[in-house]
């Protein structure tokens, strides 16, 4: 029978005979050859517990060695670094050899070309070019001497070491050369900094990303647990900015997935945000809340959804007081008659730095902005381009304000009264219908082709809501038929809704631009869902007397050759003095006149019924015509414009004849009398004009031959011309 013996730790708790109790360690006496047991260790039992362990610095050194081996293996023993290092050394040697001299020589040559018309300045500039070339030759010579000296010294040392030192010295020198290459070819820490995770996301995994088009800096899953949003001023690196944006979007309830393509710009930050569900509309809706969380100014958060990536939006974060358009290039100089109406010309820049360039050929446009939104400046920027064209006539209509103002001299017709505006609109409505019938005869095909002899017409109609109902109706009809005939209308209004325009035609036009406005105007022009898609001109602020704010800033659709994206643009603001100077140059070069083919064809066009007089069945007048169709000359007189000479219809010889006659009249004005001889008039005209040539031209223009006249500095009567004869010839020539 087996005897059950309780465990030692329970024997004291039960009543058993003394002889049956098990002996414990405390009951045994210590033997002299046995050391006492160590104190029990606290914590989990581990391998080698109780054994003597190696110092921690040994293990840390081993870890460093392991990491070093892994780093070397990952970088293929730094072979690429070494090669790159010697390339860098070669590049530095070449830069030291050049030392900026080629650039200095090129600058001197450019200066020489700039003063080509000044002999003395050109000679001095040429001497400067020669002097800099000599300096470059001397510099290269000394650079070669220094290079040769150091190379000889180094080669001598290497040779002596290789011959006398044996294999170990050879290996040491080779190793030193290899390490030197590695040192000079190591990656730039500034470049590698972007890829280093911030302290807030240490331990994050950067695998599984690799998106095309940008580096994924952070995903929402990599945010620290319990992290709270912080103001954008605390973000110093792209990683910190990505974390700042993610935290703010999460706090605003946006289903954000990741932030990529972070860029620091002179005016703030730019990045791409991807949402995991829905559309970037969620970002647009909380833009105001994001401005608060980031501590930015109003309109400091500017989201732009991307068409090519439906889940993404470009998020631009503008620093307080910064201007994204401050570095935009200014208006380029355009000489008179230096471009065609079909050419694109730059009128502004986007918030991302891209240029805004447009051609207005056959483009009907609507430009909406509230008072202070910069409409006048926008129209002036457009008209600055159209008045520089050799194949376009610019017309300025404004029933309330000053229209194109400083460009007045370069505008062919300026209409301010209701009578003038209605007459101009009817004239060009009839011309557009005439051109539709004329195109086939001229071999132009389905659209009017602008040229020097058959120009386009661009009508700028500012303050459109203040026009008469008849003017609005004529404009609406012209919008329907003028495009193919290159008679385009650019309408400017303080609003885009029916109450301003009279008809809901805003979305019908190809080109639409909206500046500071009401949200209703945004929807009326760009569509009901425009706000959700990122069209936010209503967030722009109009100017005040002391602050320009967002005047001239627009969102735009329908620019030929550009995608319709909700991007903010700023139209160039041109100083008044510059515009006046350009207008004077273009007036002096001659304004473009309409072609005679179009003018002649207008006679066969029926007028719209609503502009015709009304008669009863007996032929009695019941209602007069609200507006009459005028001839071109009569229209010019009504609007106070200079009469046209139809210079475009002249041959070169006819142009010379007319210029000679006008020059002769100007010479008489300067002489202060109504008679003059050919030689004195030719001298005043200049440009190589002789008395014989002037006589030929005056006879050809219809002034007849010379007659006997009396002049103060000659005794008796001499041959010459009278003012009346020349003036009559000019009048007949203009009427022909």
SS in 3 state form for 367-431? EECCCCCCHHHHHHHHHHHHCCECCEEEEEECCCCCCCHHHHHHCCEEECCHHHHHHHHHHHHHH
pLDDT tens digits, 232-282: 999 988 889 999 999 999 999 999 999 999 998 888 999 999 999 999 999
Tokens found for residue 154? 């180094």
Q: Are strands 456-461 and 355-358 parallel, antiparallel or unpaired?
A: unpaired
Which of 527, 499, 502, 500 is CA-nearest to residue 512? Answer: 527
Averaged pLDDT for residues 478-505: 92
Alpha helices in 527-651 (DSSP H): 576-589, 596-601, 632-638
Which of 561, 513, 570, 582 is CA-nearest to residue 358? Answer: 561
pLDDT tens digits, 693-710: 888 888 888 888 888 888
Which of 493, 344, 466 is CA-nearest to residue 400? Answer: 466
Q: Is the pLDDT of residue 195 over 50?
A: no
302 touches 295 (CB < 8 A): no
pLDDT number for residue 357: 93
pLDDT number for residue 302: 92
How far apart are alpha carbons 393 and 592 in whole angstroms? 6
Q: 253 φ, ψ to 5°?
A: 80, 20
Q: What angle do CA 580, 586, 591 make, to 5 degrees?
A: 125
Which of 281, 316, 305 is CA-nearest to residue 532? Answer: 281
Range in 65-74, 201-210, 581-590 the model is least confident about: 201-210
Q: What angle do CA 205, 209, 215 make, to 5 degrees?
A: 100
pLDDT number for residue 62: 67
Q: Which helix (H) or strand (E) holds 722?
A: strand 718-722
What length does the chain have? 736
User: In sequence order, which residues have a C-beta less than 8 Å from that of residue 713 and are 6 or more positions away?
Assistant: none
Range in 195-209, 552-566, 712-726 the model is least confident about: 195-209
- Nearest 10 degrees: CA dihedral of 514, 532, 310, 550? 40
Averaged pLDDT for residues 212-234: 80
pLDDT number for residue 523: 93
- Nearest 10 degrees: CA dihedral of 591, 595, 596, 600? -120
How far apart are alpha carbons 411 and 583 in whole angstroms? 8
How far apart are alpha carbons 514 and 522 in whole angstroms? 7
Q: What is the mean pLDDT of the chain?
A: 82
For residue 306, the SS3 value is coil
- pTM of the full predicted structure? 0.60
Is the torsion defined by CA of 439, 444, 448, 450 positive or negative?
negative
pLDDT number for residue 403: 86
C-beta atoms surrounding 721 within 10 Å: 28
pLDDT tens digits, 45-78: 444 444 444 555 455 666 677 777 777 776 777 7
- For the chain, report the end-to-end CA distance as a whole number of angstroms: 150
Tokens found for residue 52? 């003597």
Q: Which helix (H) or strand (E) holds 109?
A: helix 101-114
Tokens found for residue 147? 């290079």
Q: What is the DSSP letter of 330?
A: -
pLDDT band at 188 (very low <50, low <70, confident <90, very high): low
Percent of the chain predicted with pLDDT > 90: 40
Tokens found for residue 122? 């050109």
How far apart are alpha carbons 37 and 726 in whole angstroms? 137
Q: Which residue has the higher pLDDT, 679 or 171?
A: 679
Q: Which residue has the tokens 């054994």?
A: 51
Q: 325 φ, ψ to 5°?
A: -100, 5
Q: Give the bridge partners for 367, in sequence order.
A: 492, 513
User: In sequence order, which residues have a C-beta less than 8 Å from that of residue 491 and are 6 or more positions away?
Assistant: 365, 366, 367, 461, 464, 475, 501
Averaged pLDDT for residues 379-396: 95
What's the burial of 146, exposed, middle or buried (CB within 10 Å: 0-12/13-18/19+)? Answer: exposed
pLDDT number for residue 63: 67
C-beta atoms surrounding 329 within 10 Å: 10
User: In sequence order, which residues have a C-beta less than 8 Å from that of residue 443 and are 6 or more positions away?
Assistant: none
User: In sequence order, which residues have a C-beta less than 8 Å from that of residue 345 and are 6 or more positions away?
Assistant: 334, 339, 357, 358, 359, 385, 388
Averaged pLDDT for residues 717-725: 87
Q: Are strands 456-461 and 511-514 parallel, antiparallel or unpaired?
A: unpaired
User: In sequence order, which residues have a C-beta less than 8 Å from that of residue 71 and are 6 or more positions away?
Assistant: none
- Nearest 10 degrees: CA dihedral of 528, 533, 535, 538? 70
User: In sequence order, which residues have a C-beta less than 8 Å from that of residue 27 and are 6 or more positions away?
Assistant: none
pLDDT number for residue 445: 87
Averaged pLDDT for residues 585-590: 93
How far apart are alpha carbons 558 and 525 in whole angstroms? 12
User: In sequence order, which residues have a C-beta less than 8 Å from that of residue 221 and are 6 or more positions away?
Assistant: none
- Nearest 10 degrees: CA dihedral of 650, 655, 661, 664? 160
How far apart are alpha carbons 196 and 535 in whole angstroms? 36
Alpha helices in 439-575 (DSSP H): 469-481, 498-501, 519-526
pLDDT tens digits, 4-48: 444 444 444 444 444 444 444 444 444 444 444 444 444 444 444
How far apart are alpha carbons 404 and 660 in whole angstroms? 33
pLDDT tens digits, 341-383: 999 999 999 988 889 999 999 999 999 999 999 999 999 999 9
pLDDT number for residue 421: 95
pLDDT number for residue 457: 97
How far apart are alpha carbons 278 and 289 in whole angstroms? 19
Averaged pLDDT for residues 103-122: 69
Averaged pLDDT for residues 632-659: 76
pLDDT tens digits, 656-693: 888 888 888 888 888 888 888 888 889 898 888 898 88
Tokens found for residue 479? 């919008």
Q: Which long-range contacts (CB under 8 A, 24 or more apart) does 73-76 make?
A: none
How far apart are alpha carbons 644 and 650 in whole angstroms? 12
How far apart are alpha carbons 533 and 513 in whole angstroms? 16
Averaged pLDDT for residues 284-312: 91
Q: Which residue has the tokens 């609200």?
A: 626
Tokens found for residue 467? 């026009």
Q: Which residue has the tokens 């950067």?
A: 206
How far apart are alpha carbons 61 and 258 in whole angstroms? 39
Q: 453 φ, ψ to 5°?
A: -90, -20
């Amino acid at each position: 029978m087996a005897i059950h013996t309780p465990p030692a730790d329970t024997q004291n708790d039960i009543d058993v005979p003394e002889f049956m109790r098990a002996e414990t360690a405390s009951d045994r006496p210590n033997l002299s050859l046995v050391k006492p047991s160590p104190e029990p260790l606290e914590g989990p039992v581990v391998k080698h517990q109780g054994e003597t362990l190696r110092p921690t610095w040994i293990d840390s050194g081993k870890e460093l060695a392991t990491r070093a081996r892994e780093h070397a293996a990952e970088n293929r023993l730094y072979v690429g670094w070494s090669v790159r290092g010697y390339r860098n050394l070669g590049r530095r040697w070449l830069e030291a050899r050049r030392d900026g001299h080629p650039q200095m020589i090129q600058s001197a040559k450019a200066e020489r070309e700039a003063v080509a018309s000044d002999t003395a300045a050109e000679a001095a500039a040429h001497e400067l070019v020669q002097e800099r070339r000599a300096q470059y030759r001397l510099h290269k010579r000394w650079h070669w001497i220094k290079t040769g000296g150091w190379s000889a010294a180094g080669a001598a040392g290497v040779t002596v070491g290789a011959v006398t030192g044996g294999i170990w010295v050879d290996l040491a020198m080779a190793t030193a050369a290899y390490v030197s290459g590695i040192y000079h070819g190591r990656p730039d820490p500034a470049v590698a900094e972007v890829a280093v995770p911030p302290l807030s996301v240490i331990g994050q995994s950067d695998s599984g990303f690799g998106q095309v088009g940008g580096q994924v800096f952070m995903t929402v899953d990599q945010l620290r647990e319990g992290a709270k949003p912080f103001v954008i001023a605390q973000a110093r690196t792209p990683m910190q900015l990505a974390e700042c944006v993610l935290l703010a979007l999460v706090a605003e309830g946006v289903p954000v997935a990741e932030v990529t393509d972070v860029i620091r710009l002179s005016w703030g930050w730019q990045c791409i945000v991807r949402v995991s569900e829905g559309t970037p509309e969620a970002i647009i809706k909380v833009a105001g809340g994001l401005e608060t969380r980031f501590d930015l100014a109003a309109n400091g958060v500017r989201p732009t959804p991307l068409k090519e990536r439906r889940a993404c939006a470009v998020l631009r974060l503008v620093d307080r007081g910064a201007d994204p358009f401050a570095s935009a290039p200014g208006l380029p100089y355009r000489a008179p008659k230096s471009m065609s109406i079909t050419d694109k010309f730059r009128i502004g820049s986007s918030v991302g730095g891209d240029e805004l360039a447009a051609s207005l050929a056959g483009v009907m446009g609507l430009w909406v902005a509230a008072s202070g939104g910069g409409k006048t400046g926008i129209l002036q920027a457009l008209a600055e381009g159209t008045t520089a064209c050799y194949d376009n006539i610019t017309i300025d209509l404004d029933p309330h304000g000053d229209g194109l103002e400083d460009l007045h001299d370069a505008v062919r017709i300026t209409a301010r009264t209701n009578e003038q505006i209605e007459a101009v609109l009817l004239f060009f409505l009839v011309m557009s219908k005439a051109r539709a019938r004329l195109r086939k005869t001229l071999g132009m095909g389905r659209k009017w082709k602008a040229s020097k002899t058959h120009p386009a017409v661009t009508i700028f109609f500012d303050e459109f809501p203040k026009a008469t109902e008849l003017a609005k109706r004529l404009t609406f009809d012209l919008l329907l038929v003028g495009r193919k005939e290159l008679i385009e209308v650019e309408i400017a209004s303080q609003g885009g809704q029916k109450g301003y325009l009279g008809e809901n035609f805003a979305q019908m036009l190809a080109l639409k631009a909206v500046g500071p406005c009401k949200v209703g105007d945004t929807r009326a022009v760009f569509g009901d869902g425009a706000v959700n898609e990122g069209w936010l001109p209503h967030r722009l602020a109009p100017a005040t007397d002391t602050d320009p704010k967002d005047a001239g800033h627009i969102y735009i659709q329908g620019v030929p050759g550009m995608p319709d994206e909700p991007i903010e643009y700023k139209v160039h603001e041109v100083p008044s003095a510059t515009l006046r100077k350009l207008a004077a140059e273009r007036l002096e070069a001659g304004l473009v006149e309409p072609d005679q083919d179009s003018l002649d064809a207008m006679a066969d066009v029926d007028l719209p019924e609503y502009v015709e007089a009304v008669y009863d069945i007996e032929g009695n007048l019941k209602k007069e015509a609200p507006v009459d169709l005028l001839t071109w000359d009569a229209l010019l007189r009504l609007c106070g414009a200079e009469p046209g000479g139809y210079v475009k219809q002249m041959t070169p010889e006819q142009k010379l004849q007319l210029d000679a006659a006008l020059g002769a009249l100007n010479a008489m004005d300067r002489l202060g009398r109504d008679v003059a001889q050919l030689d004195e008039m030719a001298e005043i005209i200049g440009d190589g004009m002789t008395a014989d040539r002037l006589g030929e031209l005056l006879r050809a223009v219809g002034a007849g031959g010379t007659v006997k006249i009396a002049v103060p500095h000659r005794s008796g009567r001499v041959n010459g011309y009278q003012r009346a004869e020349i003036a009559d010839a000019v009048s007949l020539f203009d009427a022909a």
